[in-house]
Amino acid sequence: MAVLKILTYPENSLSQPSVKVDNTNKAGIDDEIKKLIGNMGETMFNAPGVGLAAPQIGVNKRIIVYDSNAENTDDDNSKQEFTALINPEIIASSGSIVSEKEACLSVVDYSADVKRYEKVTVKALNIEGEKLEFDAQGILAVIMQHEIDHLDGILFIDRISLLKRTMYKKKLAKKLNEQ
């Protein structure tokens, strides 16, 4: 497995919608995709982060990984297990929460409060190509919304006020100019 380079805003692949992974012949997920998923998990823990979507490593396919223990509040970092979802979709949502200081490995040196659904129902395929469906709440619901947004070319800075987004872009432009 390998740690991959995480692309950062305004890299093109981050704003592009991703395509579904083909599983029409029900042959399961091929070795190339499984290898990619393994690398994504390693890259996420190396960052470190709690979620990563394929467009963040320049692959515009509908694949996300997240820390299986993201909901645990104890500081036990020894359990590095991740879950992969292929072609994930939010099929139901309810409630409203503010995700405080939401951040992204692709948006450097910035965090902001983002309004999110409190509860979502996610439908996806697992790494074996089997269908699954589950409810997520709280932090897991936020991770699902954040990562699935990536697959539609949406970053959390697209979900904050225009004023805040403009300020972030100015700050970034200044920083890039100084390099």
How many Cβ atoms sit within 10 Å of the Cβ of residue 133? Answer: 11
**In whole angstroms, how large is the CA radius of gyration of the chain?**
16
Q: Got the DSSP string for 18-64?
A: PBPPP-TT-----HHHHHHHHHHHHHHHHTT-SEEEGGGGT--BSEE
Residue 104, interface with Ni ion (CB under 5 A)?
yes
Find the shortest distance in angstroms from Cβ 168 to Ni ion. Answer: 14
Binding region for Ni ion (CB under 5 A) out of 89-97, 104-112, 117-125, 134-142:
104-112
- Torsion-angle region of 112 (φ positive above 0: left; ψ -120 to 50: alpha; else: beta): beta
Q: Which is nearer to Ni ion, 104 or 114 (CB)?
A: 104
Residue 154 in tokens: 């949406």
Binding region for Ni ion (CB under 5 A) out of 6-14, 17-25, 100-108, 163-171:
100-108
Q: Is 32 considered catalytic here?
A: no
Find the shortest distance in angstroms from Cβ 7 to Ni ion. Answer: 11
Tell me how many residues contact Ni ion (CB under 5 A). Answer: 1
Residues known to be catalytic: 147
User: Which residues of the shown chain bind Ni ion in the complex (CB under 5 A)?
Assistant: 104
